[in-house]
Amino acid sequence: MTDQASTPTTYEKIGGEATVAKLTARFYELMDTVSHFAELRAMHPADLSGSRDKLFMFLSGWFGGPDLFVEKFGHPKLRARHMPFDIGTKERDQWVACMALAMEDVGLSEDVRKVLLNNFFNTADFMRNKEG
Q: Where are the domains of the chain?
A: 16-127
The distance of Cα 132 from the centroid of its chain, to the nearest Å, equals 22
> Which string of DSSP letters, residue by residue, matches 6-44?
GSPPHHHHHTTHHHHHHHHHHHHHHHHH-GGGHHHHHTS
Low-confidence ranges of the chain (pLDDT < 50): 1-2
The distance of Cα 118 from the centroid of its chain, to the nearest Å, equals 12
Q: Which pLDDT does position 4 carry in this prediction?
A: 60
Check if the beta carbon of residue 77 is closer than 8 Å to that of residue 126.
no
Q: Which pLDDT does position 1 carry in this prediction?
A: 45
Give the C-alpha separation, 30 to 13, whole Å.
24
pTM of this structure: 0.91
Which class is domain 16-127? mainly alpha
Q: Which pLDDT does position 5 carry in this prediction?
A: 66
